[in-house]
Amino acid sequence: DGEEPGEAPMASGHQSQNTVRVLVRARPLLAAEAARGQTEVVECPDAKTVCVTLPSNVQGQGVVRTFDFGMACGSELHQAAVYDHSGAAQFAEMALEGFPATILAYGSTGSGKTYTMSGLDQRDG
């Protein structure tokens, strides 16, 4: 009856075993970042794993750290796919039915909070 982390919430009238879901989204590089030759340092090799490449060490090799989350969205995913897979629509429906629901975007300045929450996908024109 319980859900896996990252799955959409259960249909209305049912309560989920999970009270907190964590979705991590890697935003695409901004045009100015790409123009400066910067590269992406965050990759999502699967739907739950985030790999962060830290700056090169003394030997010139980047150190990769791997983290698991309820859901991981790589920078290649468009807004609609993130929205569909995140369960945001179900959370909104639950809130309208009187159930407590919160979607929180957290991150440093320029990390993509507004990009993710606004629903605007500049790559789609």
Binding residues for ATP: 107-114
**Helix (H) or strand (E) run with residue 83 in it:** helix 79-86
Q: What's the chain's length in residues? A: 125
Q: Is 81 left (phi over 0), alpha (psi -120 to 50) or beta?
A: alpha
Q: Which amino acid type is present at position 34?
A: A
Backbone angles phi, psi at 79, to 5 degrees: -50, -45
Task: Give the residue numbers of the binding site.
Answer: 107-114
Residue 124 is given by DSSP the state: G
